[in-house]
A and B are shown apart, each in its own frame.
Chain A
Amino acid sequence: MAVQEYKCPCCSGALAFDSTVQKMKCPFCDTEFEVEALKAYDEDLNNEGTDKLDWDTNAGTQWTTDEATGLRSYICQSCGGEIVGDENTAATECPFCGNHAIIMQQFSGSLKPDYVIPFKLDKKAAKEEYLKHLQGKFLLPKVFKDENHIDEIKGIYVPFWLFDSDADADIRFRATRTHAWSDSNYNYVETSYYSVYRAGNVAFDHVPVDGSTRMPDDLMESIEPFNFEDAVDFQTAYLSGYFADKYDVDAEASIDRANTRIKTSTEDAFRDTVQGYVTVTPEFSSVRLHDGKTKYAFYPVWLLNTTYNDEKYTFAMNGQTGKFVGNLPTDKGKFWRFAAIVTAAAGALIYGGMWLFQLL
């Protein structure tokens, strides 16, 4: 199987994508290369691959049992070491020499992503954001903050399906207005009921749905939005230095989530055009999608893992915008201590206030 690795034309060191200069950079001799300039180089390397095809096929046949269990093994182009990944691994690093390896087969044919948003933020930024994420949270256990060791930090290109669609909507609401007045004996409230109808259309671009089962869907949706303006045509060179998986949830299976989100936002958008009422309740809603298009893209995500009290905590940072998310544990002791103190203080204050009110 073909493993892609970008070598520096100057010193043969392994190149990696540098997010700060947005170019390929050799960590050994500091030479920078435009990603576009490496395109031809990329093709040359692909041609070289034909030579090795026989040898690779032989190697592959020896591992049929591993393939059955979902494991794949590749040979590192630099040191000849064996790289073991699963059936979805698309970019990884060699466990022996640390060089970046890109498995070309994962991008062949229809598997080739249409777009990629290159990493804009590096590992240092992810660490900084992690520390910031722990700040100003009173109920976070102090031990968690003080130890604050990160078990693992990885830059991952996550496969996303992008859905474009036009939505036509017919929505009817039941709305009310109230008018209140009073005479000397009674307070009156008049409630007027209206039927409010709205029809129209709205378009959505690049609604992302996580295409990898390994990434929790809620974690991936939490670091949204991604800004599609930075997306470029996919080239494997961008993956160098990062990890990547190919999709294992196909577009058909992802479409439901996109539909739900588009329908919700369409209804919300038309709900917002109903103004001047006290209550607005949807009675009937019909949302029809058309001209739908699906694209396959790799989005940059920093993933951090840490362990606390034998429980694993996963954090994610948007590699483009720096939005950092991840649930944190609660210090139960601190929670109840604080509850007791505030109850005592507020209770005493309120009781004192009651007395004061009596005395004045």
Chain B
Amino acid sequence: MTKRIFAALFAVILILSAAMLPVSAEATYLSKLDDTAQVLSDSEKSSLQSTINEVSEACKCNLAFVTVKDLNGASFPHNGTTRDYADMYYETNFGKNTDGIVVLLVLNNGRGKRDIYISTSGKCIKRLSDSEREAIFDDALDHHSPDSKGYYDFLNNIAQGIKKAVPPHLKWYMLPLAFLIGFGIAMLILMFMKKQLKSVEMQRGAVNYVRPGSMSVTASRDSYLYSTVSRTARPKDSGGSHTSSGGGTHGGGGRSF
């Protein structure tokens, strides 16, 4: 029995490592820095480009950083919003529904403000949650404002935030939690097996000795008394995805500042 369990355990490990294989296999991910607005110097550009390459590799997805003066003059069709611009930029450069992220900086959104927008596609829609994205914006705007520290620091900070949030990761407590659940399962099985060893107990009643057909119900009343209604708030849908004007599915969000 013990041998069989070890064999089963070995098989489980094999299957798991096999499942990991295609993920760890080398795949090529595209990374792109498109400074149309020309907010970066040449040295800043090459430095940011290498950061983007690194982040793209770590996140195992496509990654583009784009700066534009405004939403006019794009080489692809879009419906004029920052969101659709980012989505369509992604689809044009990386294809529909592939795994990847576009970070778009618009210097003039048409209402006299700047926009920063992150558009996600494919697996990245789930991997970058709304709260993680908002945390990245908070950190970048509060501590690395382009007005005081320049666009390089601002964009670089966002790249670092993505590097932390997007790569597949589990919270530290997931490991002990997994084994705690495992222990619970073990105890459940063991309790079942321990019950097999116990066969001596008092009878609950005398159901085996009811005279067949002797039971008769002479009075039966079901009377309604009262009702109570309780209500609980429904959890709000969050982190939803939308469809771009090009037909691809995207997640993401942005801020004006």
* B178 partner, pick from A184, A204, A347, A356, beta carbons under 8 A: A347
| Complex interface: chain A residues within 8 A of B168 (CB) | 355, 358-359
Within 8 A of A (CB), among B119-159: 123, 127
- Interface residues on chain A, size class: 35 or more
Contact (Cβ within 8 A) B178 A354: yes
- Chain B nearest CB: distance from A207 CB in Å? 5
* B214 partner, pick from A197, A202, A225, A351, beta carbons under 8 A: A202
Given A218-B200, A350-B178, check contact A203 B214 (CB 8 Å). Answer: yes
Contact (Cβ within 8 A) B209 A225: yes
| Complex interface: chain A residues within 8 A of B202 (CB) | 217-218, 221-222
Please tell me if A39 contacts chain B, counting CB pairs below 8 Å. Answer: no
Given A184-B234, A328-B197, check contact A204 B23 (CB 8 Å). Answer: no
Number of interface residues of B (CB under 8 A): 69
Chain-B contact segment, one of A57-65, A98-106, A237-245, A268-276 = A268-276
Given A217-B202, A359-B23, check contact A193 B227 (CB 8 Å). Answer: yes
Contact (Cβ within 8 A) B190 A345: no
Contact (Cβ within 8 A) B200 A343: no
| Complex interface: chain B residues within 8 A of A184 (CB) | 234
Contact (Cβ within 8 A) A201 B216: yes
| Complex interface: chain A residues within 8 A of B233 (CB) | 185-187
Chain-A contact segment, one of B6-14, B30-38, B63-71, B87-95 = B6-14
Nearest-CB residue, chain A, relative to B214: A203
* A225 partner, pick from B19, B198, B208, B228, beta carbons under 8 A: B208
- Chain B nearest CB: distance from A51 CB in Å? 45
Within 8 A of B (CB), among A310-360: 324-330, 335, 337-352, 354-356, 358-360
Given A203-B214, A351-B174, check contact A139 B194 (CB 8 Å). Answer: yes
Given A342-B189, A348-B16, A351-B175, check contact A265 B206 (CB 8 Å). Answer: yes
| Complex interface: chain A residues within 8 A of B222 (CB) | 175, 194-197, 274
- Chain B nearest CB: distance from A105 CB in Å? 32
Nearest-CB residue, chain A, relative to B185: A346
Nearest-CB residue, chain B, relative to A138: B193
Within 8 A of B (CB), among A119-140: 133, 136-140
Within 8 A of B (CB), among A243-270: 258, 261-262, 264-265, 268-270
Please tell me if B230 contacts chain A, counting CB pairs below 8 Å. Answer: yes
Given A186-B234, A354-B170, check contact A201 B210 (CB 8 Å). Answer: no
Contact (Cβ within 8 A) A193 B200: no
Contact (Cβ within 8 A) A268 B205: yes
Contact (Cβ within 8 A) A347 B183: yes
Please tell me if A278 contacts chain B, counting CB pairs below 8 Å. Answer: no
> Which residues of A are interface residues toward B (Cβ below 8 A)?
133, 136-140, 166, 175, 182, 184-208, 216-219, 221-222, 224-225, 258, 261-262, 264-265, 268-270, 273-274, 324-330, 335, 337-352, 354-356, 358-360
